[in-house]
Chains A and B, each alone.
Chain A
């Protein structure tokens, strides 16, 4: 099978004004949303307590909310998580970092949810199975309310993670800038970093626009997007460099267009296989990594677009030419030749 039977001859760069418009629009929307609405930070960054419980049967959010309200958690945010049996409870802010009260908080909360069923956690840890409870008499059975996870992040850790996350993004970009300058040329480095910043801003912008939760795994996904999008960009750049060396007479715009067309099958196919796996993650990966999958999906699409419509026009705009592509070694040889 072959989708691209013939060589494609799409004039990608003629559409660069349109692409610029689209990118500008997306960036403006993303940045505006980031400024006005900000990100919906998960507890990884904002600090606070999160409790996920699984009920045996479907449960009404309202009844959970009123139980918590009566139990002294008026600030609790309650929502279903994936199914009608799973409930996610968020307690805003860091109630307290003290060892005992942090413990008591989640303990008290789960105890409160178990109270309507008249059950209590049995002391014994069951390594492989479900949590065991005693209810009423002495009979021990699977708890009707299962603690699925508890996460508590103190305010100091949240701030640190946010700082480190920003720094990580910066370091990744600087590392890439250095490597691409070293392997290619500064114009390519600038082009790839602009394309990456473009991808990151739009992906993060989408999270702000739709107010999806921005958690630690989402940050990891954004960094993975940097890696992926760069991968795409480098493949195109590599071909541009090769063609500049091979075809001496052609104009820069022709060479770049040709390069994008030559690598187009690969760009599309790899995006396709990556998209396939990201979609399987989104479908089968479960609720916990949903945000992660969404960020990857958005990033892969934007990354593919940017390697064609952002990265290449930027190097063109920066005035790329054949001379810049000649390896350094040859420049030395030329110098010798001139002197002779």
Chain B
């Protein structure tokens, strides 16, 4: 018998609808004002903190709508914005340092849904408001730093090997030039370097006798780049924590770029200031022996040079860096338990601790300076303020180095892994110093190459405009199909409604980012999804005109239209996939919804309408079709 539905089709549709409905459901609940608490610097958050927060909020008699803890941290929902704001203050006071507390909007979906992984669609920044940055890491600078390190290493290796050199310095060609005192030792030196520093490729300079050129090999360069990216990512994450943003995103894109997304941030200037601090710290010993004398004469002795404090006072520091900010794991401001004066407690990693122990043991009574270094990279300008460009017309960049002595406390004792910096003037100073020490260093300066900030008012306008477009387009197309195809039109409208619900479900399930162009993609899909139905229905009409019976026409119509629908949709899918691979941010969102829409519409427009038509017409004598 024609036009009967196999039982498995009913089951399949029922299953898809049940699963789809479940995942689409969280979207019908709105958002509540909420507070998100996370452990700072990627630390987890314990059950203890949860109890602490609950108790504190109860004490302040702030009503909570719901409170949950997941790997992301604690999420608390409130009935109104007022309690949200109050609650944040209470929580910040209660938990103190080590946690970041951020205002956010949280889904009002009940816990049984969210617990089973059903969440509302993830809105892009153009819909929810926020900042998107694309940062480029200055790899040239990372490599230049590596050259400086290798220069120091080479000198040490040569000294240890009792081989005398006239000069070791990086040259402009990206190699390190080693000028020996005795040209006869060339072989010996080159062997030693190959043994001790295998990541350097050494060769003799063809023109000058007694000169070796050492270049860092490609594998190591790749490693340096990867490390710089990784280190910057971590450092930036730590800095973002200080901004108090819920759900920040830090991702790598390609091999020298990072994407940062800060939902809900409005004060972009502050965000940029905190992100842009390409700072690092170095610990150097004060040359106590020559300091006073040198300050008077203004002449620095060998192995040391002058640095300045913020207030322009000068101090003579040794050139050798004891350890750098990269060795600092943690720094916290507190009050000394005995004296009550502000201090900063510092924790070092193993390597830093070892060095610290040795150096401080040898230098009790001397001072150790903390030097703040910042390298900013900026476009080079000539005297008239015009951009200087290279031969290819790209703007040239130059680095500017800022060096400043933050503090130079006296070493009172042999220090190890943990120690304190005392002698700070105020609690604020202590807090600032701790922040700087803790924020971690960027391995190389970064530059914003793209910024997209959407204010909350535009985000809301985008949502409402997008929603209106979807609904208007949807209703108009529904009306058209109903008028034009009658009973068959009803099946098409049901299919289109299900298609929309399924798209929402798929977007929610994969937590794909929904952007404004993505919404446009949904609207477009609504218009194009009925194409499959139009193809089928027109074919059925044609078959009727060709003199086929109603039942046979339905059968033939679906049968013959199928390959056309598949071909037409696959080609559109090719365009959508290309779009996805090329696309950045918002455009990707368009490609995603377009692709999802093509796939779900094939299911609803072909299978669902067929089942409905079979149910209505199938298995009985039909004289006329309502089409």
- On A, residues with C-beta under 8 Å from B are 1-2, 7, 52, 54, 96-104, 106-107, 121, 123, 125-131, 146-157, 161, 164-165, 167-168, 171-172, 175-176, 179-180, 183, 216-217, 219-220, 223-224, 226-228, 230-232, 234-235, 238-239, 242, 262-263, 265-266, 269-270, 272-278, 280-281, 283-286, 288-289, 292-293, 296
* B170 adjacent to chain A (CB < 8 Å): no
Query: Is the CB–CB distance between A217 and B451 below 8 Å?
Result: no
Chain A contacts of B534 at CB under 8 A? 266, 269-270, 273
Quick one: which of B266, B462, B480 contacts A288, CB cutoff 8 A?
Answer: B462
Among B31, B465, B472, B582, find the residue whose CB has the most chain A CB atoms closer than 10 A. B582
Q: How far is the CA of A281 from the CA of B473 in the complex (A)?
A: 8
Task: Name the CB-closest residue of B to A128.
Answer: B105
Task: Tell me the smallest distance from the CB of B599 to a CB of chain A, in Å.
Answer: 14
Contact A284 B456 (CB under 8 A): no
Additional A-B contacts beyond A131-B457, A168-B578, A273-B534 (6; CB < 8 A): A99-B275, A126-B103, A157-B134, A171-B582, A230-B571, A277-B476
Among B515-550, those with CB < 8 Å from A are 516-517, 520-521, 523-524, 526-528, 530-531, 534-535, 538, 541-542, 545
B273 closest partner in A (C-beta): A103
Query: What residue of chain B has the Cβ atom nearest to residue A82's Cβ?
Result: B461
Among the interface residues A52, A227, A262, which one has the most CB atoms of the partner chain B within 10 A?
A227
- Cβ A277 vs Cβ B524 within 8 A: yes
Q: Which residues, 525 to 584 on B, are CB-close (under 8 Å) to A? A: 526-528, 530-531, 534-535, 538, 541-542, 545, 560, 563-564, 567-579, 581-584
Query: B456, B521, B571: which contacts A131 (Cβ < 8 A)?
Result: B456
Cβ of A231: which chain B residues have Cβ within 8 Å of it?
A: 528, 531, 568-569, 571-572
B457 pairs with A179, CB closer than 8 A: no
Q: Report 28 cross-chain contacts, Cβ distance below 8 Å, ordered by A residue.
A: A1-B484, A7-B545, A54-B457, A54-B458, A97-B449, A99-B446, A102-B272, A103-B276, A104-B269, A125-B265, A127-B104, A127-B456, A128-B456, A130-B457, A131-B455, A154-B448, A157-B449, A176-B571, A224-B576, A230-B575, A231-B531, A234-B564, A242-B560, A263-B538, A266-B535, A269-B484, A274-B524, A293-B520
In the A-B complex, the 8 residue pairs with the closest CB atoms: A277-B527, A103-B272, A99-B276, A227-B575, A277-B473, A168-B582, A154-B449, A227-B572
Contact B524 A99 (CB under 8 A): no
How far is B523's CA from A224's CA once the two chains are assembled, in angstroms? 12
Known contacts A98-B376, A154-B448, A284-B468: does B477 contact A277 (CB below 8 Å)?
Answer: yes
Q: Are A273 and B527 in contact (CB under 8 A)?
A: yes
Contact A100 B276 (CB under 8 A): yes
User: Which of A216, A228, A274, A277 neighbours the largest number of chain B CB atoms within 10 Å of its CB?
Assistant: A277
Tell me whether B450 is interfacial, beta carbon within 8 Å: yes
Residues in chain B near residue A232, CB distance under 8 A:
568
Check if B378 sits within 8 Å of A98, measured CB to CB.
yes
Distance (Å) between the CB of A67 and the closest chain B CB?
Answer: 19
Q: Which of B190-198, B299-307, B586-594, B606-614 contacts A (4 or more CB under 8 A)?
A: B586-594
B55 at interface by CB-CB < 8 Å:
no
> Does B453 reach chain A (CB closer than 8 Å)?
yes
Query: Which of A125, A270, A272 has the most CB atoms of chain B within a 10 A radius of its CB?
Result: A125
| Min CB gap A252→B, angstroms | 20
Nearest Cβ in chain A — how far from B85, in angstroms?
8
| Contact of B377 with A by CB under 8 A | yes
**Interface membership of B171, Cβ < 8 A:** no
Chain A residues with CB under 8 A of B105: 127-128
Which chain A residues border B530 with CB–CB below 8 Å?
Answer: 270, 273
Known A126-B456, A277-B477; contact A165-B572, beta-carbon cutoff 8 A: no
Q: Which of B136, B484, B524 has the most CB of A within 10 A?
A: B524
Does B453 contact A150, Cβ atoms closer than 8 Å?
Answer: yes
Taking a contact as CB atoms closer than 8 A, the residue among A102, A128, A131, A278 that contacts B451 in the complex is A102
Shortest B439–chain A CB gap in Å is 15
CA distance A127 to B449 in the complex (A): 26
- Size class of the B contact interface (CB-based, 8 Å): 35 or more
Tell which of B104, B462, B523, B583 has the most Cβ of chain A within 10 Å: B523
Beta-carbon contact of A127 and B103 below 8 Å: yes
Task: Give Cα distance in the complex from A147 to B477, angstroms.
Answer: 36
Mask of B262-274 contacts with A, CB within 8 angstroms, 1/0: 0011111110110
**Taking each of B450, B458, B461, B481, which has the highest tally of chain A beta carbons within 10 Å of its own beta carbon?**
B450
Are the CB atoms of A146 and B451 closer together than 8 Å?
no
- CB pair A292–B520 under 8 Å, yes or no, is yes
**Which single residue of chain A is at the shortest CB-CB distance from B565?**
A235
Question: Given B270, B570, B578, which contacts A172 in the complex, CB threshold below 8 Å?
Answer: B578
The residue of chain B having its C-beta at the shortest distance from the C-beta of A300 within the complex is: B527
**Residue from A104, A149, A152, A286 in contact with B454 in the complex, judged by beta carbons closer than 8 Å:** A149
Chain A residues with Cβ below 8 Å from B167 are: none
Q: How far apart sit A169 and B239, CA to CA, in the bound complex (Å)?
A: 39
Task: List, in ascending order, chain A residues with CB within 8 A of B26's CB.
Answer: none
Residue B108 lies at the interface, judged by CB distance under 8 Å to chain A: no
Q: How far is the CB of A167 from chain B (nearest CB, A)?
A: 7
Of A161, A179, A224, A230, the contact of B524 (CB 8 Å cutoff): A224
- Pairwise interchain contact B267-A125, C-beta atoms closer than 8 A: yes
Q: Are A153 and B469 in contact (CB under 8 A)?
A: no
Instruction: List residues of chain B with CB within 8 A of the CB of A239.
Output: 564
Q: Which of B272, B453, B560, B594 contacts A147 (CB 8 A)?
A: B453
Question: Is there contact, CB below 8 Å, between A149 and B458?
Answer: yes
Asked if residues B451 and A150 are in contact (CB atoms below 8 Å), the reply is yes
Q: Are A278 and B527 in contact, with the CB atoms below 8 A?
A: yes
B472 x A280 contact (CB < 8 A) = yes
Q: Which residue of A lies closest to B446 (CB)?
A: A99
- Evaluate contact between B524 and A278: CB separation under 8 angstroms: yes
Is the Cβ of B578 less than 8 Å from the Cβ of A175? Answer: yes
Residue contact B453 to A286, C-beta cutoff 8 Å: no
Whether B583 pairs with A97 at a CB distance below 8 angstroms is no
Q: How far is the CB of B617 from chain A (nearest CB, A)?
A: 19
- A272 & B583 in contact (Cβ 8 Å cutoff): no
Interface string of B353-395 (1 = CB under 8 A from A): 0000000000000000000000011110000000000000011
- Specify which of A126, A179, A219 is in contact with B570 (CB 8 Å cutoff): A179
Please tell me which one of the listed residues A1, A102, A126, A172 contacts residue B266 in the complex, with CB atoms under 8 A apart. A126
When C-beta atoms are compared, the residue in chain A nearest to B489 turns out to be A1
Closest residue of chain B to A152 (Cβ to Cβ) is B451
Is A235 touching B535 in the complex (CB atoms < 8 A)? yes
Residues on B with C-beta less than 8 A from A265 are: 538, 541
B465, closest chain A residue (CB):
A286
**Residues A276 and B448 in contact, CB atoms below 8 Å apart:** no
B161 → chain A, closest Cβ, in Å?
43
B residues near A131, Cβ cutoff 8 Å:
266, 455-457
Q: Nearest Cβ in chain B — how far from A112, in angstroms? A: 13
Contacts of A262 in B (CB 8 A): 542
Q: For residue A219, which residues in chain B have a CB less than 8 angstroms away from its CB?
A: 587
B466 contacts the other chain (Cβ, under 8 Å)?
yes
**B454: chain A residues within 8 A (beta carbon):** 148-149
Q: How far is the CA of A263 from the CA of B587 in the complex (A)?
A: 32
Interface residue? B483 (CB, 8 A): yes
What residues of chain A lie closer than 8 Å to B43, measured between beta carbons? none
Collect the chain A residues with CB atoms within 8 Å of residue B542's CB: 262
